[in-house]
């Protein structure tokens, strides 16, 4: 059991690296604790609320009680399956805003500005506009990852965009192109009616090569000899063994499990490791720190017409949709139903969008429970750049114990102001002429919830994670005491060890994290192979010309 490269985790970044390293002729072993992604629960896009809530596919993590959210523990799903979280996510495809990556570079991730990462986004994509416009010149045409747009057949999808325009906002034909800001179509990692996870896009083609293999095992720690990573200690069945790496070990186990693995391997804050009786290999204060996420609320409206997806919220209709999907990969089962989106700025003086909308033509929760009121629709809304920071720490030195995940949500006073703004701006959009034929009344928070303290109470009770945890092994310069990896994804203080997944984000990007996580795997693969990175792009992103003075 040895290879040139051993990758821990068959998730978004791990699958991309396996593909690129194997393509370059290196021998690769990918360690994955989860099982197969076969079967309709994962492969059928509309079934997305199932795998996220199935212990078979999810690590089942929860946050510690969150003091600013009334002591609630929030679900923190992470994929425990081939494809990782790309096999249980909502399939929404968002690159992130150009300025997000420029900020990474400014904070010490040299070579990761937007100009540097745009060529990797293009390399990974196979973009299909479906004849619906878009910025073809900004998009990739022949990458492994298929990106499509939903049919937007339900009139509510267009009503959302029209209402945004009526409220005075920009529209955008392609938020992944030159102009993120505005209302427009949402993109999804769905291809030919199937979830196009990192497993389907990258890992399955890689495994067809003789030099790439998947090992079903539980990674316990990285084995380090004389300051160099030489392998991974795993348990398989009741045996503990070591899988050896001739060149390098690559950790890509998620922003929750990657820092946990580093700490179990002796890399992390020395005092915390000592507390758990772990010998310190490299004292890195930043391991597990800088935890960030997106929090959101669902603003729900009751519909005055029976045009929402609620008419399918019964066992007979679900069976019909499932059967149509199974036999033809078409119909409502072939979309995640997130088909309209928006990115807006919360106030004048904010340079680029800091609020994201997912619009859904049914009033339903992520756990699959429909609103009691029947026909309705909702917008998921939340701020993009909260200043709140949390941490992932060890519960014990036993690899089988879940780590402690503490987000410290809403700990920054600005978060409350930003969330109130989100709710008020959303109500204004739903109040536009375009929604007049469809709106009956507001289900949640409810029209009587108006004062700041009432809105705050609603947020405290109902805010949910958008499942975008990141930042727990931040990338930065080698002399930065809080950086964990350098700009080539090398773990600082240990030789032969890299880490590449959403853990390395210096700051959370705008929108959903699957696309930037895959991009990190793509770019890290070039660093691992010692290649010159792709030439920077010089495309100029659109920024609102009067952002200093105008909110829209």
Catalytic residue list contains 358: no
**Does 471 show up as a binding residue in the annotation?**
no
Using CA atoms in the order 533, 537, 542, 543, what is the torsion angle rounded to 10 degrees?
60
Among the residues of 338-466, which ranges form H helices? 413-430, 452-462
- Spatial distance between the Cα atoms of 229 and 13, rounded to a whole number of angstroms: 20
**Does 147 show up as a binding residue in the annotation?**
no
For the chain, counts of helices (H) and of strands (E): 13, 25
CB neighbours of residue 387 within 10 Å: 12
Among the residues of 125-195, which ranges form H helices? 155-166
8 Å CB contact between 29 and 243: yes
CB neighbours of residue 181 within 10 Å: 24
b (16+ CB within 10 A) / e for 43-60:
bbbbbbbbbbebeebbbe
Element (H, E) at 342: strand 340-344
Structure tokens at 328: 């033809």
Structure tokens at 529: 């192979």
- Spatial distance between the Cα atoms of 297 and 388, rounded to a whole number of angstroms: 17
Cis peptide before 154 (omega within 30 of 0): no
**Does 89 show up as a binding residue in the annotation?**
yes
Three-class secondary structure of residue 205 per DSSP: helix
8 Å CB contact between 514 and 522: no
- Spatial distance between the Cα atoms of 310 and 301, rounded to a whole number of angstroms: 13
- Spatial distance between the Cα atoms of 498 and 17, rounded to a whole number of angstroms: 11
In the block, residue with structure tokens 């100009």: 115
Question: Considering only CA atoms, which of 443, 514, 503 is closest in space to residue 471?
Answer: 503
CB neighbours of residue 38 within 10 Å: 11
Q: Which of 33, 146, 294, 468 is catalytic?
A: 468
- For helices 155-166 and 413-430, angle between their N-to-C axes, nearest 10 degrees: 110
Using CA atoms in the order 547, 423, 509, 141, what is the torsion angle rounded to 10 degrees?
-90
- Spatial distance between the Cα atoms of 544 and 552, rounded to a whole number of angstroms: 8
CA atoms within 13 A on the CB side of 191: 17
Max CA-CA distance within the chain? 70
Q: Calculate Rg over the CA atoms of the chain.
A: 22
Q: Which residues are annotated as a binding site for FAD?
A: 81, 89-92
Q: Which residues are annotated as a binding site?
A: 81, 89-92
* Active site (catalytic) residues: 468
């Amino acid at each position: 059991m040895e290879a040139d490269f051993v990758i821990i985790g068959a998730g978004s970044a791990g699958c991309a690296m396996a593909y690129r390293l194997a393509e370059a002729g290196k021998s690769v072993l990918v360690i994955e604790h989860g099982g197969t992604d076969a079967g309709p629960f994962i492969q059928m896009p509309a079934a997305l609320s199932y795998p996220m809530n199935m212990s078979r596919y999810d690590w089942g993590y929860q946050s510690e009680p969150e003091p600013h959210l009334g002591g609630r523990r929030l679900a923190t799903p992470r994929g425990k399956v081939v494809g990782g979280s790309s096999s249980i996510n909502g399939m929404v495809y968002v690159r992130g805003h150009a300025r997000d990556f420029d900020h990474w570079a400014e904070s010490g991730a040299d070579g990761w500005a937007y100009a540097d990462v745009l060529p990797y986004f293009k390399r990974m994509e196979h973009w299909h506009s479906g004849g619906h416009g878009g910025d073809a010149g900004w998009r990739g045409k022949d990458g492994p990852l298929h990106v499509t747009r939903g049919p937007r057949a339900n009139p509510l999808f267009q009503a959302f965009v029209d209402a945004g325009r009526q409220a005075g906002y920009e529209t955008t034909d392609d938020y992944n192109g030159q102009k993120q800001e505005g209302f427009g179509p949402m993109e999804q990692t769905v291809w030919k009616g199937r979830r196009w996870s990192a497993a389907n896009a990258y890992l399955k083609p890689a495994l067809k090569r003789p030099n790439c293999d998947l090992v079903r095992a539980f990674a316990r720690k990285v084995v380090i000899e004389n300051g160099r990573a030489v392998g991974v200690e795993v348990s398989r069945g009741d045996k503990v063994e070591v899988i050896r790496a001739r060149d390098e070990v690559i950790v890509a186990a998620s922003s929750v499990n990657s820092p946990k693995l580093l700490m179990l391997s002796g890399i992390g804050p020395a005092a915390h490791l000592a507390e758990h009786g772990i010998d310190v290999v490299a004292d890195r204060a930043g391991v597990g720190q800088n935890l960030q996420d997106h929090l959101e609320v669902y603003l729900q409206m009751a519909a005055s017409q029976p045009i929402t997806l609620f008419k399918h919220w019964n066992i007979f209709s679900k069976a019909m949709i499932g059967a149509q999907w199974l036999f033809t990969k078409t119909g409502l089962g072939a979309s995640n139903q997130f088909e309209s989106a928006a990115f807006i700025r919360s106030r004048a003086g904010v340079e680029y969008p800091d609020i994201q909308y997912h619009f859904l033509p049914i009033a339903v929760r992520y756990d699959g429970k429909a609103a009691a009121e029947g026909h309705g629709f909702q917008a998921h809304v939340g701020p993009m750049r909260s200043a709140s920071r949390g941490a992932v720490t060890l519960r014990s030195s036993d690899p089988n114990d879940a780590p402690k995940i503490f987000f410290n949500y809403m700990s920054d006073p600005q978060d409350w102001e930003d969330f109130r703004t989100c709710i008020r701006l959303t109500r204004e959009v739903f109040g536009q002429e375009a929604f007049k034929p469809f709106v009956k009344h507001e289900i949640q928070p409810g029209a009587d919830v108006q004062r700041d303290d009432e809105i705050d109470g609603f947020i405290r009770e109902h805010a949910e994670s958008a499942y975008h945890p990141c930042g727990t092994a931040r990338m930065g310069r080698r002399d930065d005491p809080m950086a964990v990896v350098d700009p080539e994804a090398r773990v600082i203080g240990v030789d032969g060890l890299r880490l590449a997944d959403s853990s390395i984000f210096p700051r959370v990007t705008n929108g959903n994290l699957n696309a930037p996580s895959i991009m990190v795997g793509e770019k890290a693969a070039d660093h691992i192979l010692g290649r010159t990175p792709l030439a920077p792009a010089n495309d100029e992103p659109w920024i609102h010309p009067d952002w200093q003075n105008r909110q829209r």
